Amino acid sequence: MGFGFTIVKKDEGSFRRLGRITTPHGDIQTPVFMPVGTQGAVKALTPEEVAGEIRAEIILCNTYHLYLRPGHEVIERLGGLHCFMNWHRPILTDSGGFQIYSLSALRKVIDEGVTFQSHLDGSTHFLTPERAVDIQRALGADIIMCFDECIQYPATFSDTEAAVKRTSAWAARCREQARGPGQALFGIVQGGMFRELRERSIQELRQIGFDGYALGGLSVGETTEMMRAVVEHSVPLLPEDRPRYLMGVGTPADLVECAGRGIDMFDCVLPTRNARNGMLFTRRGKLVIKNARFREDERPVDEQCQCYTCRTYSRAYLRHLYMAREILSYRLNTVHNLFYFTTLLDGLRTAIGDGTYGEFRRRFYEEQKNAGDEEEDRQ
């Protein structure tokens, strides 16, 4: 079975829709949130927990990190990433472009590719578009990403234009490189905050032709309003019959707003990273579990949440674990946060399917606004 995308239902008068992505390792219902398993693991959880309690249909793994450690050749010899990490549902791997961008002083970009130094040992590596595809082919992901040039914010028009030109050239080279059976290749739209350049990037990628299209170069310092404006302007220009992926975004409100603007796929480290920092997402806003006011609080994190953490443990216990720096704190907090995100997407899909997205969005903000005694935790 190869890759495919089917629009299940469109919400008349808007770009939001329900979809189904087909891959060699199973189907994905969209809109979907992908938990991030950077180094072949969703931090603090087993793959069985991510598939079971969290109900994730797809996860994201990182090409840059797996290339450096343990090495894509090792993973390929051991049966590919699915076998290596015992995850038998779909996997998306990003190309490593964003991670190399974040190295800043440790990289040099030329038209052929990027020279960079490993953050692990300082060793020098040269990554080309062809090499990025080869690594992802070896990893065996179901969906792989083109190598792109992500630039900082703010950036000048000329620098952004140069990055768009290079990204399009690299995308064409990625498209020509051999992939594994059933592997889908997504192009990545760049262009910063410049509408003209976003339009040019989309046009050039569409001419090449990809299985899906991602909006990249966001969550790099721009305001939320700017990010959403880029999404709103870009979505109508993307092919309707291909998945739309918003990379590295975002908050619960971002998911609600951007799914409403027609985005099909999301990923973000926010739920797992915040869990390890003691910040929990609830329908009534964020809850900072270290606050002294939870020391004897017998309630669950969220009384309406059905995750294992909320079914089993009190805020008082979770605060104790966090203050004691027990590893169990990271696990239980991560279970809750990821469950919150997947449940939020469940609700979004139901609302889009029922034609009640507007009511869902209104209720989401109303609950956040009326956070009550959780409001203090946002400070």
Q: Which residues are catalytic?
A: 94, 267
Tokens for 243, please give them.
Answer: 């998945």
**In the 3-class helix/strand/coil scheme, how is 207-269 assigned residue by residue?**
HHCCCEEEECCCCCCCCHHHHHHHHHHHHHHCCCCCCEEECCCCCHHHHHHHHHCCCCEEECC
Q: Using alpha carbons only, what angle is made at residue 205 by residues 204 and 211, rounded to the nearest 5 degrees?
A: 160
- Binning the chain into helix, strand and coil, the percentages to the nearest 5 are 45, 20, 35
Residue 349 to residues 241, 251, 344, 367: CA-CA distances in angstroms?
18, 17, 9, 19
CA 101 remoteness from chain centre: 17
Angle between helices 357-369 and 327-354 (to 10 degrees): 140
Distances (CA, A) of 347 to 31, 143, 244, 355: 10, 25, 19, 12
Name the strands in the sheet holding 17-23, side by side, starting at the edge strand that comes first in the sequence.
Answer: 4-10, 17-23, 26-30
Residue 115: which H helix or E strand, with range?
strand 114-117
Instruction: Specify the DSSP class assigned to residue 368.
Output: H
Exposed e or buried b for every residue in 318-328, given b needs 16+ CB within 10 A?
bbbbbeeeeee
